[in-house]
Chain A
Amino acid sequence: MPASETASGKTGGLAIGREGARTLLVASGEWTIDTIGGLARQIASLDLAGEMVLDLRQVAALDTSGAYLILHLLGEAQRRRAAMTLGGLQERHAGLLRTIERAMVPVAIKGEWRHPWLAVLERLGRNSVEQLQEGRDLVAFLGAVAIALGRALIRPSRLRLPALFSHMERAGFNALLIVGLLAFLIGIVLAYQGADQLARFGAQIFTVNLVAIGMLREMGVLMTAIIVAGRSGSAFTAQIGTMQVNEEIDALRTIGLDPIELLAVPRILALLIVLPLLTFYADMMGLLGGAVMAILVLDISFAQFASQAALAVKASTFFVGMVKAPLFGFVIGLVGCYEGLQVSRSAESVGLRTTRSVVASIFIIIVLDAGFSILFALLRI
């Protein structure tokens, strides 16, 4: 007898015989979740035609899956115009079969078929529209934040100082180690690469210029902004997004508190204040890294390094770097909070938005930095 056997040793079978003109299907053993995998395959290969009887007298155990399969078999027979009747249904199984029959639904047909190229085109269009809408929403959010900031400036009592200081500590003070270390290493890298190339012209001393100008104008602020975007921008999105999932943001609104004033403004202001401070610190650490490298590899004394750096750097060099810092901080905070508020009510969207927040803020920062370069070139600074 063909039987479907499983690892747990349970077997269910379906034997095919003939009884006069009728085909006799005898179900036996267990018709449960453990056995119906094999039974379903056997049923799919059955030749359903003519007059048939499905005998259930020998079924020892039946669960919802087994009941489904019996009803499925009856349905298939009907579809193929075979006259199948049910025999030997046990009283203890009748109720279950009735329950399952009521719960069975016509199989839903899933979407219509599309040409793959058309699908790609459609997805491209959808994504483009979505991106544009995101851009518009971000600008709208910028406006809302500007209003909330303006209100806070007019009435400083609306500013949540404890929240502001706590975010400054987390985004600023707690980032000192990583920002300092990375800036120091970047200083070393710049000095080493510069020395290598400049040595060919015998102009090793200009390594100092390279490190000083490179760090102060570009690398210091850029590195700091990227680290802060990864550390704090993502944290903002995750925090606000989790609150969104828990309906906490909706709760704030119903209490009559503005989530932008309460959550976004302190975070954005914190980054606005902290990023210039971190940038200054990164500049100094980068110069220190360059100096250490210069002293160790180039046989330049610290005094020489300092005097050469002083020659190379004008006050404007320093300020060109520093002026970008608050703007970058603002952008990171803005994007982080915006993406957090865009989270829908699922855990997955928190992750998605967090990633997007980091990518978007780094993208905007680099675009802005390029813009600044062009602007300063035109202004001849």
Chain B
Amino acid sequence: MAAPSAVIEIDGLVTRFGQAVIHEDLDLSVERGEVFAIVGGSGTGKSVLLREIVGLMRPAEGRVRVLGHDVARLDPGAARHLRRRWGMLFQDGALFSSLTVGENIDLPLKEHTDIDPATRRRLAQLKLGLVGLPADTVDKYPAELSGGMRKRAGLARALALDPELLFLDEPTAGLDPIAANGVDELVRSLRRALGLTVVMVTHDLDSLHAISDRIGVLVDKRIRVGTIASLIQDDHPWIRDYFRGPRGRAAAGGGGKVGGGGEG
């Protein structure tokens, strides 16, 4: 394939809110086909970074390239084309509350493809089945769903156009452990089946162990990238506390990726 292996390239990114500097000279590249997790403490700008990557916010300085396009300098046609190659799951699903779940999933399909309505409806049901929601969810309104179901429905909408690139903002937050495992399993199988690249912001250590290939930790206004095995050796105080704290050890023990990490 001629496509470059880096799906996302960020050079010298600077984010400022008034006087406060959130990111300073941040560089990052995400490879095709990997699951990349972004972690960091509160206020380190995880969600902001994600919003800058998808072009919802403009960084003060620096360049963000996604699938070879500079997201800050897109003409409307290219922006439209690029946007149908990625899907995003927002924290609380961000489903349109005046539409049923089925219509929510149908909206991008109707807008961007020439598929007939009957097929679109069955595709919407298929996407719901993929994220593990029952078929009758299709005619329900978002207000009638639980938080976890809304999240799954949001994921179904993000998957509507079969994107190459999937952005997830806290996909497992607020889900019970079984549902969270389900989402992890789903992301893993989609990645395997579709060759998806996944970029997710998460705090769920189990999820990090289960599905992420590489992790970027936002500390000191930059991002420190590594695998779990390498980051666990890092001596930065925040990273040490994060991966080697009680929860970090428990997750490592359960995930079974880092040998002998459990507390026995």
Answer whether A and B are interacting partners. Answer: yes
Which of B23-31, B123-131, B225-233 interfaces with chain A?
B123-131
Q: Which of A344-372 contact B (CB under 8 A)?
A: 344-349
Tier of interface size on chain A:
35 or more
Q: Is the CB of A346 within 8 A of B141?
A: yes
- Which residues of the other chain, A, contact B127 by a CB distance below 8 angstroms? 64, 103
A78-121 interface bits toward B, Cβ cutoff 8 Å, 1 = contact, 0 = none: 00000000000000000110011011111110100000000000
Binds A, one of B189-197, B235-243, B251-259: B189-197
- Of the residues B119, B135, B143, B194, contact of A106 by C-beta under 8 Å: B135
Judged by a CB distance under 8 angstroms, whether A8 is at the interface is yes
Asked if B129 and A105 sit within 8 Å, CB to CB, the answer is yes
State A65–B135 Cα separation when bound (angstroms). 17
Assembled-state Cα–Cα distance A64/B128 (Å): 12
Residue numbers in B under 8 Å from A142 (CB-CB): none
Residues from chain B with Cβ under 8 Å of A40 in the complex = 115-116, 119
* Cα–Cα, bound, A348→B129 (Å): 27
Question: Once bound together, how far apart are the Cα atoms of A59 and B105, in whole Å?
Answer: 26
B119 touches A63 (CB 8 A): no
A176, B24: Cα distance in complex, Å:
49
Contact B122 A68 (CB under 8 A): yes
Contact-size category for B: 20 to 34
Q: With A64-B194, A95-B192, A106-B135 in contact, is A345–B126 under 8 Å at CB?
A: no
Q: Contacts A37-B113, A346-B97, A346-B142; is A100 near B130 (CB within 8 Å)?
A: yes
Q: Which residues of A lie under 8 Å from residue B192 when comparing CB positions? A: 95
A64 touches B159 (CB 8 A): yes
- What are the residues of chain A within 8 A of B161 when measuring CB–CB? 33
| Best-surrounded residue of B119, B127, B134, B190 (most CB of chain A within 10 A) | B119
A1-41 interface (Cβ within 8 A of B):
6, 8, 32-34, 36-38, 40-41
Nearest residue (CB) in B for A71 is: B126
Give the residues in chain A near B111, CB-CB below 8 Å.
none
Count: A-B pairs, CB below 8 Å: 85
Rounded to whole angstroms, the CA-CA distance of A104 and B141 in the bound complex is 21
Contact B126 A64 (CB under 8 A): yes
In the complex, chain A residues whose CB is within 8 Å of the CB of B193: 64, 95-96, 99
Cβ–Cβ < 8 Å partners of B122 in chain A: 68, 72, 107
Q: Are B119 and A36 in contact (CB under 8 A)?
A: yes
Q: List, in ascending order, chain A residues with CB within 8 A of B81's CB.
A: 8
Task: Tell me which residues from 24 to 76 in chain A have a Cβ below 8 Å from any Cβ of chain B.
Answer: 32-34, 36-38, 40-41, 44, 63-65, 68-69, 72
Q: Is the CB of A108 within 8 A of B114?
A: no
Q: How far is the CA of A166 from the CA of B116 in the complex (A)?
A: 55
Smallest CB gap from A69: residue in B: B119
Instruction: Write out, one digit per residue, whether chain B residues 130-161 have a CB within 8 A of any chain A CB (1) or not (0).
Output: 10001110110111000000000000000101
How far, in whole Å, are A184 and B61 apart by their CA atoms in the complex?
54
User: Across the interface, do B143 and A99 meet the contact criterion of CB distance under 8 Å?
Assistant: no
B97, B114, B126, B162: the one contacting A103 at CB < 8 Å is B126
Q: In the complex, which residues of chain A have a beta carbon less than 8 angstroms from the beta carbon of B138? A: 108
Asked if A346 meets B98 with Cβ closer than 8 Å, knowing A100-B126, A103-B129, A108-B136, the reply is yes
Q: Could you say which residues of chain B place their CB within 8 Å of the CB of A34?
A: 113
Which listed residue, B109, B115, B125, touches A107 by the CB 8 Å rule? B125
Chain B contacts to A: CB under 8 angstroms:
81, 97-98, 109, 113-116, 119, 122-123, 125-130, 134-136, 138-139, 141-143, 159, 161-162, 189-190, 192-194
Instruction: Supply 8 further A-B pairs (C-beta < 8 A) apart from A65-B115, A345-B143.
Output: A37-B119, A63-B194, A72-B119, A95-B189, A96-B193, A96-B194, A105-B134, A108-B135
Q: List 19 A-B contacts (CB under 8 A).
A: A34-B113, A37-B113, A37-B114, A40-B115, A63-B162, A64-B162, A65-B115, A68-B123, A95-B189, A99-B190, A102-B129, A103-B126, A104-B126, A105-B134, A108-B135, A108-B139, A344-B143, A345-B143, A346-B143
Residues of A within 8 A of B (CB): 6, 8, 32-34, 36-38, 40-41, 44, 63-65, 68-69, 72, 95-96, 99-100, 102-108, 110, 344-349
